[in-house]
Amino acid sequence: MTDTVLREMRWWDIDPVLELERDLFPEDAWSRGMFWSELAHSRGPGASRRYVVAQAGERIVGYAGLASSGEQADVQTIAVARDQQGTGLGSRLLTELLRAATAFECAEVMLECRVDNTRAQKLYERFGFEPIGFRRGYYQPGNVDALVMRLTDPSSSVQGTEING
């Protein structure tokens, strides 16, 4: 079995990330331009984004991204290859995003999750996220509602956790 390593997402990761994105989210997959735009805000002075990929050997098996603005951060995306789901990789990716939120000095982290994605909701609840509302028809073109969740004090959710390969 190949160790899975988390590392910063770079421009050369966009094509394999897009393949995974289209497989996992066929109705509402992000475009190449959306990933380029997010990565443009993840480097240099004033960076407000953190994007990571999970790499097993030569293969990208997951990715995640966070945007920060002032005291609030937003989980933009978390994705885990189908054959890697249930392995704890989603938890590792979320932990890395919460570490980034802490580094950005954010007091809370928000996210939207499809109402029909109970597996993801359970992951977020384990980290202390609480449902606070809905966004009707948020995911298009399928017109699927989003559950809005919030975590206050992200630093407390990552204390004692460790990412390893």
- Looking at the predicted structure, is the pLDDT value of residue 161 above 60? no
Tens digit of each residue's pLDDT (9 = 90 or more) over 141-158? 888 899 999 999 888 776
Tens digit of each residue's pLDDT (9 = 90 or more) over 68-81? 999 999 999 999 99
- Token digits for 19? 């393949």
Give the number of other Cβ atoms within 10 Å of residue 10's Cβ: 12
Q: What is the pTM of this model?
A: 0.90
Are the C-beta atoms of residues 48 and 88 closer than 8 Å to each other?
no
Are the C-beta atoms of residues 38 and 67 closer than 8 Å to each other?
yes
* 3-state secondary structure (DSSP) of residue 128: coil
pLDDT at 159: 55
Which of 80, 86, 73, 74 has the alpha carbon at shortest distance from 17? 80
- Token digits for 112? 């939207």
Q: Which helix (H) or strand (E) holds 77?
A: strand 72-80
